[in-house]
Amino acid sequence: MKENKLAELSMNFSIRIIELVKELKGKKESIISNQIGRSGTSIGANIREANYAHSKADFIAKLQIALKEANETGYWIELLYKTDYITKTEFETFDKFCIEIRVILIKSINTAKGN
């Protein structure tokens, strides 16, 4: 159940990130937009890859990569806010998304390690 919620959440997050990148490119911002575009969409890609892992260790590794990407994305979101590219409301929305994904990933990784 968590994996389905996680997959859906990460897909919705990726869509929001792509929309943000389009907006940033319109503002002629390319440094952070390129970085957040890669890290923000990589979360869902790694979660999807985990579903077809070759082993338990591979499954855990993919989720750990997704977790690292979510953490990096959180950094870029904070940087966008602190450099006035996004509003406080936008920051809080993206940050909440990131935190929710990280919490589920941590729980999933811990569960997989325990089994």
pLDDT grade for 1, boundaries at 50, 70 and 90: very low
Q: What is the average pLDDT across 2-25? A: 92
pLDDT, tens digit, for every residue of 15-44? 999 999 999 999 999 999 999 999 999 999
Supply the pLDDT for residue 2: 54
Q: Which residues of 46-82 are buried (b: 16+ CB within 10 A; e: fewer)?
A: bbbbbeeeeeeeebbbbbbbbbbbbebbbebbeebbe
Is residue 46 predicted with pLDDT exceeding 70? yes
- 85-96 tens-digit pLDDT: 999 999 999 999
Cβ(47)–Cβ(6) below 8 Å: yes
Per-residue model confidence (pLDDT) at position 43: 98
pLDDT score, position 3: 56
